[in-house]
Structure 1
Amino acid sequence: MRKTLLRKVIVSYFIILSISFFILMTVTYKIVENHLITEKKELLKKEATILANQYISAYNSGSMNSFDISYLITILDQSLDTRIWFANRHGELVLDSRNEIAPYRNINLHSLNDEIIYKHSSSTGDFYGFFNGEFISVGIPIMTKSAYQGSIFLHYDILTIKEKSSIIYTLGLITLIITMIISVSFIIYFGNKIVKPINDMNDAALKYANGDFDTTLTVNTNDEIGQLATSLNTMAFELSKMEELRRSFIANISHDFRSPLTSIKGYVGAILDGTISAQHQDKYLNIVYDETERLNKLTSDILFLTKMETSGLNLNYRTFDIHSVIRKVTALFEQKCLNKNIKVTLMLDKEELLVFADIDKIQQVLHNLFDNAVKFSYENSYITIETTQLREKVYVSINDTGEGIPCENLKYIWDRFYKSDPSRGKDKNGTGLGLSIVREIIKAHNENIRVFSTKGKGTEFVFTLLKSS
């Protein structure tokens, strides 16, 4: 599997290169062959003209005998590798540079085609069936004082040209083989530089699938592979973080369910076996009731967050007075504030301030934030709730003067089951889900929420809402 991609690249390269070579060499071969044939025809015409004008004319005038001309055309045949014929004025073949005229002695060229006797001609083929192959044939009439004296024919075997053209094919094939060897070497070298990181990423992905997120990819490139490796490393980090949150979630939810269940079981058992007397049962039944309420709230909060993640939060938008909701929420905590002697100050922008949102969800946000403010405020301290307007937004601030949150812990406060007190002793009635719910509600409204806190001085939460026009 590891070499499949590289093998595909090499095979594809071979196929493309071979097809390209075949097409290129075939076209080149034909072009070169046609060029050589044309060039050879022109050369044969030139030689035939010279031979006719200078030597054959001399023979006809008596200055050169048949032996001399026979010797001459034999030498010229060997020099040009061209068969030479001479036909007299009657169209009869009388000389052959290769002394093979006997089979054609009784053939009269006039009976074939007058054009090959009286005119300059050139053709490619078997020359009217005289040869058992393909030849370039050039004919030149011999004229003396405008009188026809005969014709000279030069025949060149095209097979010789094809053999020369095939050399190009052979050289091309050798070049192809050398090119393939060099190219494949480069492909293997550079291919491994690509395939190896991909294989490493594949191995890492398999490890991630099995829950091992500790593998880190190292790719020192800025190309797409380097970007992919960086993305996988980021994904592994996020998956590791999610896995840690999942384990923490299970541990926290187990703890938060176990504690009230243990209390309920212990008190109910004590009542049933008579350990708790009848006159004290009401007290402990109230404790059991409070614990069941705590379990109910925890379950509701978990179901709420789960529903938001799976199907989203359905918001019922309407226009309402945010000041009225603030007053209603603070009234619910009046007794708790009195118990800790906490003074609540409302710094509201005006008597009525209309916003456009889901009133029930925003009331839940205010309830959770104010509950935290009361819970973590010192005795004899104060809480301030303030509203301001800026353009199309309304800013709601809840500021306490309690113990505050350490700076390094601020980024964790939105996590489920997170509690700022590691011992969990100061907030035994909390679920650790309140701020997670707050953030999800505000996000569902496409609004923002921020937190500012100083250890030992207090915490301020500020969120925005859309002002109603």
Structure 2
Amino acid sequence: MTILLLVSFVLFILTILLLEFFEGYHVKQVENDLTATVKKIAYIMEEHGNNEIGLEIAWEIADKPAHVMVLMDGKKTYFSPGTKKSEKIPLATVLKDKELMKTVTEDKMVKKEMSLMGSQSNESRYENIIIIGVPLHMKGHQTGAVYIYQSLGVIKETTQQTTRLILLSAGIAIILTTIFAFFLSTRITAPLRKMREAVFEVARGKFDTKVPILTHDEIGELATAFNQMGRQLKINLNALNQEKEQLSSILSSMADGVITFNRDGTVLITNPPAERFLQQWYYEQGENGDHAAPIRVLELLNKVIDTEMEQTGELMLQGRYYVVVVSPLYNQQNVRGAVAVVRDMSEERQLDKLRKDFIANVSHELRTPIAMLQGYSEAIIDDIASTEDEKKEIAKIIYDESLRMGRLVNELLDLARMEAGHISLNKEPVDFKPFLERVTNKFQGLAREKKIELTVSLKHEIEWFEFDPDRIEQVLTNLIDNAIRHTPEGGRVEVVQKNRTHGITIDVKDTGSGIPQEDLPFVFERFYKADKARTRGRSGTGLGLAIAKNIIDAHKGQISVQSKVGHGTTFSFFLPRTK
């Protein structure tokens, strides 16, 4: 439609201009021919004094359809032969027309278009003519004028033919333009429609969509560029998805929490550790909280936005210690937000506390025997012990304390090796009943001395079981010794063996003082002693249960404790079958 409207408008303007041009051109051409003819007639008549000869020559020069009229002395008129009566200009018309009379009165050539009124068969009519007059001089003075005129009907016919030809040409041009426009429109718009459909498909995410390349012109080049763009978009999108998945995997696998903030404190991105951190914060602040993150973190965020520098802080939440590092995120001009890395330092703090407690406990355990060794050694040096019995007693105390220090050091070394994973087990099939009775019989003397009943109970007899007998004997020795030491006179200690589907369970039960409820979770820790008031001479090092737990863990088993103050304690450990 655009092409048709444009071409139609151009053709319309061109047709108007051509019509105007050709109409004026024909009139001008006739005017020029008539002017040249009338000048020749006037010249010939002026050259020939004899009017008859001049008129004859003039009639020969004048061509149809022009008519010549000669006015002599303002009274006589002569017309070219063949001029009809209706085509003759009346003398009165010329004499009354001031414009035509200027050839006589003002001696100059005149041109004029006028209507000639004549009568033929008693009918009146008007006809448009063009008339040109020049003055006529005879014998040196003006004697009249020569007029030549011609009807404009011929010119109109010529103009009409020209108009028809121009309109025909314009119609043919419009028809051809319409055909060309539809052809061009089909050739251009058909690929563009397909390209538009392909663009919609790409907008829906189908980057494999291709536009057929039908031509090698600009549209074909556009189709080629579109297909290349689709392929490149797919490559870039796949690369972005891979980077996004990689970043998501990295964030999800991080042990530290990562929180991305906007400038106004809005949380944008979090990973699972950060979500747990925020959930703890939401739980702590309750339903009426109006902060998206802990206030300490938001304070660090504001400092980062103000100073554009990394900030570090600490906070405690739900009994856990966290270190928060907030770093700025930039756009092209300023800080657009920040990323906070939240690191849970609770285990590090606990390990640091355990390290300090370990050093304090070891120092505390060694201080008493060292002090006793130093004191009794000084007593020997200063000859405080006067008799041999006193010296032997002092020497025995020094010997016992040295053995105690040796046991402490050995147990520390064993525990360190076990916790480092360097424990080695020498498993072998063991006849369980004799093994259990042998270990228990070692304590029968101590039990009788304290008036305690020590028994062995086999709920389900088992002949052979595979384990490390030395290590399990160490565990049983520690448990039975603890049970006897914490059971008052008249009490009872029982060792019970039970079969399980996947192994065996050994229970060491006593009717002693029991362990307080708040101390039960810590009985397997190093240097932990539930009875803080008992004497150090018979209390042990506080490492036995920690060593026992490591031995059972090395056997892939479990050890547990149940106790109630005033009702006794039961230590149980489970050993799985190896086959």
What is the CA deviation profile of residues 268-320 of structure 1, one whole-angstrom value per residue up to 9, with x for unaligned ones? 22122211135122222121111111111111111112122234423233322
- Higher helix proportion, which one? 1
C-alpha separation between the residues in 1 aligned to 2:25 and 2:298?
86
Secondary structure of 1:415's counterpart equals: coil
1:362 maps onto 2:472 in alignment = yes
CA contact (8 A) 1:396 1:463 kept: yes
Out of 224, 248, 263, the position equivalent to 1:188 is: 263
Partner of 2:254: none
Cα-to-partner distance string for 1:315-367 (whole Å, 9 max, x where unaligned)? 23332233333222212222211210111111113554433322222111111
Bigger Cα displacement from structure 2, 274-283 vs 447-456:
274-283
Change beyond 3 A, Cα 1:262–1:48: same
1:288 aligns with 2:378: no
Greater RCO (Cα-Cα under 8 Å, separation 6 or more): 1
Alignment of 1:336 onto 2:297: no
Partner residue of 2:572? Answer: 462
Say whether residues 1:251 and 2:360 are aligned partners. Answer: yes
Match of 1:239 in 2: 348
1:347 and 2:450 aligned: no
Q: Is the Cα contact below 8 Å between 2:511 and 2:568 reproduced in 1?
A: yes
Equivalent positions of 1:423-462 (< 5 A) are 423-425=533-535, 428-462=538-572
TM-score, normalised with respect to structure 2? 0.47
SS at match of 1:144: helix
Letter aligned with residue 51 of structure 1: I
What's the Cα RMSD here?
4.0
Deviation of residue 63 (structure 1)?
Answer: 7.4
Cα distance in 2 for partners of 1:313, 1:243 equals: 25
TM-aligned CA distance change 1:318 to 1:55, over 3 Å: farther
Aligned pairs (5 A) from 1:102-251: 144=166, 188-190=263-265, 203-204=312-313, 229=342, 232=343, 235-251=344-360
Contact persistence 1:376–1:403 (CA under 8 A):
yes
Any idea what the Cα deviations from partners look like across 1:63-86, whole Å, max 9, x if unmatched?
7999xxxxxxxxxxxxxxxxxxxx
Going from structure 1 to structure 2, the CA distance change for 1:192 and 1:344 (only over 3 Å counts) comes to closer
Query: 1:144 is aligned with what amino acid?
Result: I
- Determine whether 1:268 maps to 2:374: no
Aligned residue number for residue 303 of structure 1: 413
Q: Relative to 1, partners in 2 of residues 1:143 and 1:444: Cα closer, same or farther, differing over 3 Å? A: farther
5 Å-filtered alignment, 1:15-54, equals: 44-52=6-14, 54=15
Q: Is 2:322–2:346's contact at 8 Å kept on the other side of the alignment?
A: no
Q: Distance between the aligned counterparts of 1:143 and 1:340, measured in 2?
A: 144
Alignment of 1:384-403 (within 5 A): 384-403=494-513
Aligned partner of 1:327 in structure 2 is: 437
Alignment length (residue pairs):
307
Deviation at 1:423, TM superposition (A): 2.3
Corresponding residue of 1:81: none
Contact 1:355/1:465 (CA < 8 Å) preserved in 2?
A: no
Q: Quick check: which one's strand share is greater?
A: 2
Select the residue among 35, 58, 72 that pairs with 2:19: 58
Residues 510 and 570 in structure 2, CA contact (< 8 A), matched pair in contact too: yes
- The 3 A distance-change label for structure 1 pair 426 and 266 is closer
Q: 1:227 to 1:341 in 2, by over 3 A?
A: farther
User: What are the Cα deviations for residues 186-242 of structure 1, in whole angstroms up to 9, with x where unaligned?
Assistant: 95335798895695796236x99xxxx86687x9xxxxx99974xx4xx33333333
Query: How far apart are the structure 1 equivalents of 2:11 and 2:551?
Result: 104
Q: Residue 422 of structure 1 aligns with which residue? A: 532
Offset of 1:244 from its aligned partner?
A: 2.8
Q: Which moved more, 1:388-397 or 1:239-248?
A: 239-248
- Is contact 1:354–1:468 with CA below 8 Å preserved after alignment? no
Retained in 1: the 8 A contact 2:265–2:298?
no
* Superposed displacement of residue 437, structure 1: 0.9
Which amino acid in structure 1 is aligned with residue 352 of structure 2? E
Structure label with greater radius of gyration: 2
2:312–2:323 CA contact under 8 A, matched in 1 = no
Quote the Cα distance in structure 1 between the aligned partners of 2:507 and 2:571.
6
Question: Are residues 226 and 330 of structure 1, via their aligned partners in 2, closer, same or farther at CA, if it must alter by over 3 Å?
Answer: farther
* Pair 1:383 & 2:458 matched: no
Say if 1:202 and 1:361 are closer, same or farther in 2 by CA, change over 3 A: farther
Change over 3 Å in CA distance of 1:311–1:347 after alignment to 2: closer
SS in 2 for 1:62: helix
Give a deviation string over 1:383-434, Cα, whole Å, max 9, x none: 1111111211211100011110011111111111111112242764410111
Preserved CA contact (<8 Å) 2:444 2:454: no
Distance change in 2, residues 1:427/1:288 (3 Å): closer
Task: Note the C-alpha offset of 1:438.
Answer: 1.1
For residue 243 of structure 1, what is the amino acid of its counterpart? D
CA distance in 2 between counterparts of 1:145 and 1:226 reads 78
Structure 1: runs of 5 or more not aligned? 1-38, 67-141, 152-185, 220-224
